[in-house]
Amino acid sequence: MHPLAHYRAERGLTQEALAAQLGVKTNTVSRWEAGVRKIKFTKVAHVSGLTGIPVIVLRPDLAPLLQAPESLEALSVTIVKGSE
């Protein structure tokens, strides 16, 4: 069972209710839970923050980035400089 589906089941939430909490469409939650789509990189921290599910559980493919703080620091500097 996908972590989001487990989270919903524990709390008695529908996909519609979870989608509303996360600010996404219901079919987006359905696709995440079915494994058809991955949670976007730009959305995964928000989903993690609202559900308490660690990013590494939601997106295991991001593990190399999460374990390399120097990469994240370089990325954040690039983003900040790019937005100025």
CATH number of the domain to which 14 belongs: 1.10.260.40
**Contact by Cβ (8 Å): 44, 59:** yes
Q: Compute the average pLDDT of residues 22-43.
A: 94
Instruction: State pLDDT tens for residues 2-22.
Output: 999 999 999 999 999 999 999
Check whether 33 has a pLDDT greater than 90. yes
Q: Compute the average pLDDT of residues 47-74.
A: 79
**Contact by Cβ (8 Å): 72, 28:** no
| Number of domains comprising the chain | 1
- Which residue has tokens 């500097």? 77
The residue segments making up the domain with residue 16 are: 3-83
Q: Identify the pLDDT of residue 79.
A: 46
Q: Compute the average pLDDT of residues 27-46.
A: 93
Instruction: State pLDDT tens for residues 71-80.
Output: 555 545 444 4
Query: Per-residue DSSP letters for 33-50?
Result: HHTSSPPPHHHHHHHHHH
